[in-house]
Structures are given as C-alpha cells and as structure tokens.
Amino acid sequence: MNKLIQLHNDIDVRVQAIRENYVDWQCKMGCDSCCHRLAEIPRLTRAEWNFLCDGLSALPTEILSQITQTVAELAKQSTQFVICPMLDKSKGACMVYAHRPVACRTYGYYDQHDKGLYCNDILERVISGVLNEVVWGNQNTIDRQLSSFGNTRDLTEWFAHWKKVTP
Ligand code: SF4
Ligand code: SF4
C-alpha cells in the first residue's frame, strides 16, 4: 500500500472513532462551508496531486474544462477567500471527493489553532460545550508525514503544469 493511501486509512480510522462518539458530527459529504471559504489556494504535495489527477481525469470533459477555467481565474484572483474550483456549488458536493487532498479529509477533525486552521462550525459547537470532549487529531503530525510526499505546490501551479504536458 502506498504511503498516501496508508495516511488516508489512518485518517479514516480517527474519523470513524469520532463519528462513533458523536453521531451528529456534521463533517461529511454535503457539508460544504469550508469548501466555500478556503483561507488560501489549496496546496498539495506531488503524491496528492497525482492522486487528484486520477479523479480529475475521470470527470466528463465539459466539467474538467470548467474546473480548469476556474483554476486559471483563481490564479489571478486577489481577494482573500477562495471558493474551491472543485466544488459543485449547485449540489454543495466535491466533484473529486474520493480523490480529494489530505487537508480536505482532516479539516474538521484535526486541530491547528496556531495557524488559524480549524472549522468555525465545529469550533462553535466546541465552545458551546456540545463537543467539548472530542479528542482532536494533531495536524502537525499529518504535515510531518506529508513532507515526505514530494514537493508542494499551489493547485493553480499543478494545473498550469498539467495543462502543459497534457493535450
Ligand atoms: S470542516 Fe466544517 S464546514 Fe467542512 S465539512 Fe467539516 S463540519 Fe462541514
Ligand atoms: S477538493 Fe473537494 S473537499 Fe476539498 S475543498 Fe475542494 S470541493 Fe472541498
């Protein structure tokens, strides 16, 4: 099993443990607030990008063209918050869910307060005492593992490179 799939599996185990204790945990497919409000252009390691490419390549041509165009526009965007180009806004669903980057898999479950990276929806429930016994995963541990997954680039850069090498 490759290292990325192993990491996905490890995250799934942690996610499952949280779900078992908090059956109303709202972090799942269909909850899309975070995808509407990314703090920055997603950054991916080479291994994550290669995996994501499998998901992108399986999309219908017109959807892929749409995403490619949105990514190109994103590269020029100067506003702070980013709507993920791979979000189907009409359905509130990720178009590459099975192939999404690690950050998308961990965002609601793993804590990295020092970088301001956490889900506000979850945090509100923690502050109100509903989730005050959750044992969070440690995002720094995940980041350490990701550092061995090849170079990291913005999604816009990976796309630009990809379009150069694919017809
Ligand atoms: S991180 Fe927050 S907004 Fe994103 S899916 Fe989880 S609960 Fe929803
Ligand atoms: S890749 Fe999918 S899950 Fe991740 S931010 Fe984009 S739409 Fe959301």
Q: Are 150 and 46 in contact (CB under 8 A)?
A: yes
- pLDDT at residue 49 in the model: 97
The mean per-residue pLDDT over the stretch 66-95 comes to 91
**Is 136 inside a domain boundary?**
yes
| CA nearest ligand 2 atom 1, residue | 100
Q: Is 68 or 128 the better-scoring residue by pLDDT?
A: 68
**Is 164 inside a domain boundary?**
no
CA dihedral (117, 63, 28, 92) in degrees, to 10, reads: 90
How do residues 113-143 score in pLDDT, each as one tens digit? 566 556 888 888 888 888 777 777 778 888 8
What distance in angstroms lies between residue 135's CA and the mean position of ligand 1's atoms? 17
**Is 147 inside a domain boundary?**
yes
- pLDDT at residue 78 in the model: 75
**Is 157 inside a domain boundary?**
no
Q: Are 45 and 146 in contact (CB under 8 A)?
A: yes
Alpha helices in 58-137 (DSSP H): 61-76, 102-106, 120-127
Whether pLDDT at 6 is above 90: yes
What distance in angstroms lies between residue 32's CA and the mean position of ligand 1's atoms? 6
Nearest listed ligand to the Cα of residue 93: 2
Q: What is the three-class DSSP state of 47? A: helix
Number of neighbouring beta carbons within 10 Å of residue 93:
15
Q: What are phi and psi of 91, to 5 degrees?
A: -105, -10
- pLDDT at residue 167 in the model: 58
**Is 23 inside a domain boundary?**
yes
Q: Best substitution site from 36, 86, 154, 156 to test ligand 2's pocket, by max atoms within 8 Å of Cβ? A: 86
- pLDDT at residue 80 in the model: 74
Q: Best substitution site from 33, 35, 81, 112 to test ligand 1's pocket, by max atoms within 8 Å of Cβ? A: 33
How do residues 24-64 score in pLDDT, each as one tens digit? 888 888 889 999 988 889 999 999 999 999 999 999 999 99
**Is 160 inside a domain boundary?**
no
Q: Does the C-beta of 33 come closer than 6 Å to ligand 1? A: yes
Q: Does the C-beta of 26 come closer than 6 Å to ligand 1? A: yes
**Is 47 inside a domain boundary?**
yes
**Is 24 inside a domain boundary?**
yes
- Percent above pLDDT 70 for the chain: 93
- pLDDT at residue 5 in the model: 96
The mean per-residue pLDDT over the stretch 140-158 comes to 93
* Domain span including residue 32: 3-151
Domain count, the chain: 1
